[in-house]
Amino acid sequence: MKFDIITIFPQAFDSFLKTSLIARGIKKKLISIKTHDLRKWATDHHRTVDDRPYGGGPGMVLRVDIIDSAISKLQITNSKKIRKILLEPAGKPFTQKDAKRLAKYDKLILIAGHYEGVDERVRALVDEEISIGDYVLTGGELPAMVVIDAVSRNIKGFLGKQESLTDESFSISNYPLTIDNLLEYPHYTRPENYQGKRVPKVLLSGSHKIIRKWRLAQALKRTKKRRPDLVK
């Protein structure tokens, strides 16, 4: 899987690319992540990629012609399984289902907006728009990292234990039935007794069947309490 990120702050990804599973995935050549400074496609001496909005108003807007040049260059490839994604607050809320769906592509081109946003005509150049939540960030760099991390986890071989994918929040399927929209059940480890709070006896029973049943019940209970919208 290849990730190409169009951004005006490529340095924002420096530590992300060197950390934990992402770094290991790159080393194992399961994923490839490249940042591309949008200013590389600027046409003037000052490498300008934005301008004042027509009609007035605060802030600056990233230009459609510059972004179009970047996308056109990056989508030149032998693969037909490419997805161009604009990261911005007005996009569709990003979910685990989206992460699984996008993991099936060969290449994702992620456009990280900044300043007051992008020219409206950029929307016609992409395949979809994604938001990671109902709030506004200073740019699309953090959302790009979120999407890359979530998608990468669904690539075969990326995780040390592949069963981790099927037994976590939003993907609980290690049971007689599969439920995609549950929060994960509670986890416990040593010490068995900490300041009077003990590990549930069922987890010490040694019965995998009973434990699976308890975990599913706990996942349902937690989801109904914290995210009732998921179990309507």
Domains and CATH numbers, the chain: 2-152 (3.40.1280.10), 163-231 (1.10.1270.20)
At residue 173, the pLDDT reads 54
Mean pLDDT over residues 89-96, rounded? 94
Cβ–Cβ contacts within 10 Å for residue 161, how many? 7
Residue-wise pLDDT tens digits, 168-194: 655 555 554 445 678 999 999 999 999
How far apart are alpha carbons 134 and 115 in whole angstroms? 18
Mean pLDDT over residues 117-127, rounded? 96
Residue-wise pLDDT tens digits, 78-92: 878 999 999 999 999
How far apart are alpha carbons 38 and 111 in whole angstroms? 9
At residue 165, the pLDDT reads 56
pTM: 0.87
Q: Which class for 2: exposed (0-12), middle (13-18), buried (19 or more C-beta within 10 A)?
A: middle
At residue 179, the pLDDT reads 59
Q: Which residues pair with 6 in a beta bridge?
A: 36, 111
Among 83-87, 116-120, 160-164, 225-229, the minimum mean pLDDT is found in 160-164
How far apart are alpha carbons 15 and 38 in whole angstroms? 20
At residue 181, the pLDDT reads 79
How large a percentage of the chain has pLDDT more than 90? 84
Residue-wise pLDDT tens digits, 21-76: 999 999 999 999 999 999 999 999 999 999 999 999 899 999 999 999 999 999 99
At residue 178, the pLDDT reads 46
How far apart are alpha carbons 61 and 102 in whole angstroms? 28
